[in-house]
Structure 1
């Protein structure tokens, strides 16, 4: 079985979402973009136990600009400016909440700030609705759904055409509706078949819980592993495999414990200690109907049951020379791997739809990729949400749904199948470059790995008073590695990133003016939200601009440690600097040269690179509305240098 469509209206942070996966799904994206909400929405429809978590906050609240606030009434969403959307402040739960409590600001914007957005309120939707379309049923499930089956279109939607082909595959739609009765102050939910219902008239053909339990749907819920207490994963596995043998094992444990405790109670040392306590002030004579002695004192678990004993048992493992140690002492990764293995064993339902939220959070990178690949291979369809790029490595690029949030508005993005040969070259950057930026809102694409190395090193050497690019949600990536990089690859990688919902910046060199460079710049600007352009010359020249010749010569002299002659040879001339730039490029010694510059007394970061980083930071802000091309000016050498 698999899901062909998920349609959400008014559920949690989703005003509207229409996802139509082709096969497996890996849900990723920036924080607060709705990963968990999407998995939860699926569970509310397909898992009969998931509705227990319903809350008033599940009803989406739309920011609305009311009458008399400087504009006509309008919902604050895709048609609202980013500044207006960000101005909406969520308040405690109420049907309509007035949030017009902002301080007065200069409406002219002359002070460098944007004009104050119109006042807005939050209005809760009347009902949250989640509809899921299912297909590829096995015969038993198809018979269970007889009477609500509909033809399936190629788009993944149920067909409304009465003349649909009789050969069309069949599908079934299940929907979840959550509403709030203000008079009764209660939440009301219903799961129904849309094909036989009319929500507008309050008529619902409800889906029995037994029917939903018959659907091959598994929700992975990893917890503390290797627990034998009732309800724990290992106990469920034991009961599913051979409940009678498991009960016999627990009876044997109870008998063995009883015998061991009896022997412990009768031990002379224990009996002597107990009698000593009972002898104090004649205690043993007074607290019972007959004199109490050690022979009449025993020991047991808290309620005398095997269940109480099992609740106290914790797994211990012998993994190395440290011997048998408690599971917690082996570290969080071991526990997480075993926990996920338990959950996956419980999820071995043939052809099942498997749901998992925050997959891989406690796993190491190889285990995350391996277990994600295992789930994908064994499931009819898997829906994983994750923050880990390693999980995405187990999926095809077209199976990744990336969620983003711009100006307070959520959206989803998915790559389409690429047939163009040149675009396929850019697709290689998914695993090598863009995957590492999976949860970052912005990528800044450079011409190659040397540029990334230089910009990254200067960025991480910023003093504490300056925030790095990561604090602004920016991930630096190269347009290629080796011979596949260069300025010509930037538009292809940028277009790929745009399809995935990134805000896309470029950091490029400023080559000599020509028809070719003008054409390349135009293509980059078309593909990017903003472009930061270095001064004339490559990244090697930008590293040294604004620094004294002596500083450059001192740093150049340290490069002999890498088995090459000193590029400047102590010469304080611009020609020597040009030779230094050529050697740095050819030998890939950019970071080593920067390290030498930073090692000098009273060293300061390369000023041109620092300015370039500041411009990247400026353009990364989604509200940035300045020039699309941001040129970094060249800096002259200090006087007397």
Structure 2
């Protein structure tokens, strides 16, 4: 279903400039200021859906028709006495406040006494010294109160500028004002609904009110006539008369004798609303013939829902579109296409997603990432690049950070070879060891396409931390590459640093613990990829260096690792230690050594 307010004047671009929430659901104190559109991503349980619900409580004209619930008020567990019991404490109230800019003319007229001057950043100027030319905005707030003594809950939407919650004075926002806001709540479950609250009904009525009303009246009349004819059918009437015969159980069914003529068959309650609720779209999309919407799958419903939303946006000159979990159940290209279409066709979109495909349709500045690994929910936005170098660095967001949208921790390796070797080892770990993904960790490379290395780890780590990731750096033990300040620079931009043993790069780490004979046998795999076996005619003592040289120049780390695993039966112990250290440091609760220097467990004393 897509829910919408009435469309308004064309050419206006209503948008939210600030969203605040205090003690609303899991949010203690949210202050979000979007930079245009808002694509909301992040960790599980970090508040994506609660953010959409916060907007719904304020902007949906139907939000206060339902009974209020303590679900909307933040609740905490408090430890009890010596018995170790706990109790749930509900905050006294929750509030959500939304600031709107570029108001439609009819909204300005209806809310004239509640308009407030805005600062250049879109927030309300509360100084009292705003200039006469300052643009006007509108603050709307939703508040739900819980009275513990009476165990009662009350809610309302009000104008903050005209109200004083401390003295229980609230000037409520008329439903008509919210109904004038061109806002669409996107839900891909039920498009093409002709019932009163369906978007299709709204679009049809707005397109031609007289013809659509006449068509619906004709439908009601004709269905009623057809139902009467059905009830009067001789076969049906005969059975009904037998059922309600006065000599049987139905003797006292009514005030007097009941006959078949007293029974009618109508859709639901016989009203037009009931009739339209029973009408559901049936589509013919292929040779399978006409099938109900559910039979066509999630892609069809999502596409049609987006199409309805965009049609409304076009008819109003740009509506605000709000939706949760875009892309669920969809393929990647369709997810990206829908996200791109919504962003291009709306004045402003607030979309949450767990899919990197949706994120590709948005600018870096429009990404809002939510986290909770620090113990409380937090909001993160990337700072705009200050120069060309930083702009190039932002390629990491689309290429490597966005695929880790729901991860807690990013482990940054030096380059592509390190990523290949460590990733291959991670995928091949077996129980009781668990892969990095089981710890909420995503392994990436500091290589932006023009080379990686330790010097690239600090800026990449800084970018990842701006998005709220916990960051662990994983570097080799080559002292020649580490100037006095390099490791310090990395530590300053990371939450933890794991360093391979002294004088050991990832290529040597792969070989640690393997014999010359095992390395020779594994090196045969190089010929499968058009590379000569570097161990041929080499004495045993030169075999490791020969293989490391080829790996460093040609890659094939994963392929060689697979072949070596066949020979040794175990993963390289140094790589196992490195992954274990990353898993340890990547946990949000880790607070021990910030830097872990690994040792070679295969080295002889």
TM-score, normalized by the shorter chain, greater than 0.5: yes
Name the structure 1 match of 2:403.
Answer: 436
Note the C-alpha offset of 1:609: 0.9
Aligned pairs (5 A) from 1:347-426: 347-348=313-314, 349-426=316-393
Cα 1:506–1:203 change in 2 (3 A) is: same
Structure 2 residue corresponding to 1:26, chosen from 21, 36, 39: 39
Aligned to 1:523: 489
2:308 aligns with 342
1:447 shift after superposition: 1.0
Shift of 1:221: 2.7
TM score, norm. by length of structure 2: 0.85
SS at structure 2 position matched to 1:168? coil
User: Partner residue of 2:433?
Assistant: 466
Counterparts of residues 183-262 of structure 1 (less than 5 Å): 183-228=149-194, 231-242=197-208, 244-246=210-212, 251=218
Q: Report the 3-state secondary structure (helix = DSSP H, G, I; strand = E; otherwise coil) of the residue aligned with 2:361.
A: coil
Give distance in 2, aligned partners of 1:462 and 1:392.
Answer: 31
CA contact (8 A) 1:546 1:638 kept: no
Distance 1:202 1:591, change over 3 A: same
Query: Secondary structure of 1:176's partner?
Result: strand
Question: How many Å separate the matches in 2 of 1:160 and 1:174?
Answer: 15
| Mapping of residues 34-433 of structure 1, within 5 Å | 34-51=47-64, 52=66, 54-61=68-75, 90=77, 97-99=78-80, 123-228=89-194, 231-242=197-208, 244-246=210-212, 251=218, 315-320=281-286, 322=288, 324-348=290-314, 349-433=316-400
1:611 corresponds, among 577, 580, 604, to 577
Contact between 1:222 and 1:343, CA under 8 Å: does it hold in 2?
Answer: no
Partner of 2:24: 11
Cα deviation per residue 1:475-505 (whole Å; 9 max; x = unaligned)?
Answer: 1111124423222111111000111111011
Tell me the SS of whatever aligns to 1:433: helix
State the SS of the aligned residue for 1:518. Answer: coil
Select which of 477, 491, 499 maps to 1:533.
499
| Structure 2 segments unaligned to the other structure (5+ residues) | 1-13, 252-258
344-353 or 362-371: which moved more?
344-353
> How large is the Cα RMSD of the aligned pairs?
3.8
- Contact preservation (8 Å) 2:107, 2:181: yes
Query: Whole-Å Cα distance in 1 between the matches of residues 419 and 353 of structure 2?
Result: 26
The correspondence for 2:591, drawn from 608, 625, 628, is: 625
**SS of match in other structure, 2:500:** strand
SS at match of 1:50: coil
CA 1:603/1:186 → structure 2, altered by over 3 Å: closer, same or farther? same
* Distance (Å, rounded) in 2 between the aligned partners of 1:315 and 1:171: 40
What's the CA shift for 1:100? 5.3
Instruction: Show the counterpart of 1:568.
Output: 535
**Partners of 1:48 and 1:306 in 2: how far apart?**
23
Displacement after TM superposition at 1:381 (Å): 2.0
Structure 1's unaligned 5+ residue stretches are 63-89, 91-96, 104-118
Higher deviation after alignment, 142-151 or 519-528: 142-151
Greater mean alpha carbon deviation, residues 221-230 or residues 159-168? 221-230
The Cα offsets for residues 216-256 of structure 1, whole Å up to 9 and x where unpaired, read as 32222332234555644444443443455456656469859
Cα distance in structure 2, aligned partners of 1:530 and 1:403? 21
> Paired residue for 1:476?
443
Alignment check: 8 A CA contact 1:549 1:572 kept: no
Tell me, in whole angstroms, the C-alpha distance in 2 between the residues paired with 1:274 and 1:130: 59
Tell me the residue number matched to 1:545.
512
CA contact (8 A) 1:216 1:350 kept: no
For the residues of structure 2 that align with 1:120 and 1:431, how far apart are their CA atoms?
Answer: 44
Distance in 2, matches of 1:464 and 1:343, equals: 48
Find the aligned partners of 1:99 and 1:196 in 2 and give their Cα distance.
Answer: 41
Distance 1:594 1:102, change over 3 A: farther
Change over 3 Å in CA distance of 1:464–1:41 after alignment to 2: same
C-alpha distance 638-168 of structure 1, shift in aligned 2 (>3 A) = same
Q: Does the C-alpha gap of structure 1 residues 318 and 598 become closer, same or farther in structure 2, counting only changes over 3 Å? A: farther
Q: TM-score, normalised by structure 1?
A: 0.80
Q: Which moved more, 1:327-336 or 1:407-416?
A: 327-336
Could you tell me how far apart the structure 2 residues matched to 1:530 and 1:588 are? 28
**1:503 matches 2:517:** no
Quick check: 1:220–1:347 contact (8 Å CA) kept in 2? Answer: no
How far apart, CA to CA, are the structure 1 residues paired with 2:346 and 2:537?
A: 66
Contact 2:24/2:72 (CA < 8 Å) preserved in 1? Answer: yes
Once the two structures are superposed, residues 550-586 of structure 1 have per-residue CA deviations (whole angstroms, 9 ceiling, x without a partner) of 2221111122111111122275624121111121222
The one-character-per-residue Cα deviations of 1:86-105 (angstroms, maximum 9, x if unpaired) are: xxxx3xxxxxx5445787xx
